[in-house]
Structure 1
Amino acid sequence: MRRIKYSWGIVVVLAILTGFFSCSKMDEYKDEFQKGGEIIYAGALDTVIAQSGYKRINLKMTLGKDQQVVKVRAYWNERGDSLEMPIQRPLSSDTINMLIPDLAARSYSFAVYTYDEKGHASVVRTASGMAYGDDYVNALGNRTIQSVAPNTRVDSLIVKWNDANSGQILTELSYLTAAGEAKTVLLLPTESVLALSEEDYQGGSELNYRSAYLPNANSYDTFWVVQPSTVVLNALPPYERQFDKSLFRRMQLPTDIGASQYATWPMTNLWNGYVTGNGYATAVGPTPVWFTFDMGQSAKINRFIYWQPMDRLYNLEAVRSFEIYGSNDPNADGSWDSWTFLRTCEAIKPSGSPAGTNTAEDIAAAQAGHEFVMPTNIPKTRYIRIKVLSHWGATATFQAMGELTLFTKDRP
């Protein structure tokens, strides 16, 4: 046991002696390295980001806590080029910018130092970035339009856009309002529809649009397409909507012709939306006869379309001529005192051939329906009375009509 303790004592003494001589040697090296005095560094930048630009790069720098720093110097092209910028204190922010102009279009690596009043430099901070030129700008394209079409349901001209290109941040739209004033709208990449009402734009004028890009997340400049694209904004067609047929109801007044003896030809067929099926047939009775229905809404009729029953075009009981009347409060006794005459209508046969003989033109006209435009001075009306004057056949026991579709310019 004594021999073991003794041996450890020797080891400890040797270690102390070795440490002494080692430290003495290190001090000799330190004195040799710092013959000119202690090395002092200026406070380095916290961060440096190289932001891309058009033939330039911006160095966005965050200063450290060293208040003795008075300037910043950046080197590039393997220290062949440099730019120095003083730091004016007090600062409103610890973030400063150094804009480096007149750069060729390529990537650059920067070494950035700070300096204090005595010329001490900081440790280096590095950053890399790209300068873009005309080749990049000329390759940019405007966002493209998918379609420009009126939507009468919302009474607007709808401009639909295709998806934005990569890097596209917005598209600037310029057009004239209905009052002739210039208006600018910014379309974001997440937006794909521009709706213009009659008041929003001038029909026949041009929509000019130009897109902007950021080549990367750290871009300093916004890059615009050189030339705007143009599309003509056609005027909206006059507003018109179809009367809602789901509101239509048969109305039987005392003097009206009765219902048909054929169950498959009820009055509701007049507004069921099928122009090729059975229509409406009245009860048996000589002309003139009349019938009434409720449209469920009061509006001014702009026009309407009448279809003949397709199984008897220009023939037999198909109604040829009639008068249309309107009322908002028809007399319960079925008299005509409360009705306003709207117009007389006749289904025209293009060929003029006798009943039962139809040309291809006759059939096409009947399938398209006979359109009747109403006078502009008629009043709003809710209830309609059709007075049948004639049919196409030489003899007939009842009157038949296929389908009626009515339109109004009144807004709901």
Structure 2
Amino acid sequence: MKKLFKLVIVPMVLVLFACDEEQHGPLVSDGTNPQAVENVLVTPIYGGLSISYDLPNDSDLLYVKAVYKNSKGETAEVKTSAYDNKIEILGFGDTTEKTVELYSVDRSENTSEPITVSAAPLTPPVFLVQQTMDITADFGGARFSWINESKTPITIELLTTDETTGELETVETIYTEKSESKSSIRGYESLPRLFAALIRDRYDNFSDTIYANTPDKLLTPLFEERLDKTKFNKVVLNNDDNWDAWEGDYWNCFDDDAASIVHTQGDQPRPSIMTVDLGAVVTLSRFNLLQRSPENGRHWAYTHGNPKTYTVYGSKELPGQDGDLNDWILLKECESIKPSGSPLGTNTDEDMDHFDRGDEYTFDDPIEIRYFRIAVHSTWDGAGYINFSEMTFWGNVVE
């Protein structure tokens, strides 16, 4: 019994002793300062500085830190490990000369004497993007296009005047780091109005407010109207697929309910084609396709049978019951694009914002049509069947 008692009590005493002796300081403690870095080279980059150096020959070197004033005038620092010989400082909002102090730090948190360097960063990315921003009239609104060569994460606010106050307000906010992008805001009458953009980065650097390059900064949206889906008629040609399979129904595509879907069986050769009579002769300005979006969530985004590549066609008269696509006018070749480019199953906030808005395509040529066809060639995950929620059209009714 005594032996058993000792075996139990000794570990408990050791644990209590260890708790009493717990320390939170450096594991190694000495009073020797490390040597400073040498052969420092500063290279200006867009909105920042890239600083390289030779590391000191100190066996307990832990990291090198750069101390500087950020764009807000606050003291900031960047650290890099003893296994690297370069530090990048980002987020400067101008091109004035910056002063940086470099310190070597060892495992005892001793610091070297500072090495001071100065240089002026290149133009911050928000202003580079600002220089490329183009705002032009679009159907029902304005189109914004820009280039972001450095692929810097930026936020772009799209603005127009509030109907009540007459002040500029943010209508849409885009988060992106793509090298080249465009977006439109729509739903406005064909009357002159202000459209503008504001660019911001993650360091809270702002561009100037950007306006259209017109004498009065005003743009007149091109006229368009949303086509009335209650006037649409179902058309089934010989090579059309059945869109009523499973829980799908042809008319779910035109019921303005994102939770209802069309769905094919999946046993027909590609492309899978759907045809609709728009109920009037029109010139289309754009159309929007919503991927499958059930009421209980958005887990169908960019996967399953959602269309990935498809072509759309039009005709003023029905060319023939056989549905030969060669007899139709090719309106556009379309591809559903995930903004982030991330793999299946990984969706960013930007991806989901795009998913909620839908895949939208603009028609630049004013071709008069009454009949519209979509031919789906591939799906997001390669599924044999196809499903999606809704198609919506805008344009001018001719007759």
Q: What TM-score do you get using the length of structure 2 for normalisation?
A: 0.43
Structure (1 or 2) with the larger CA radius of gyration: 1
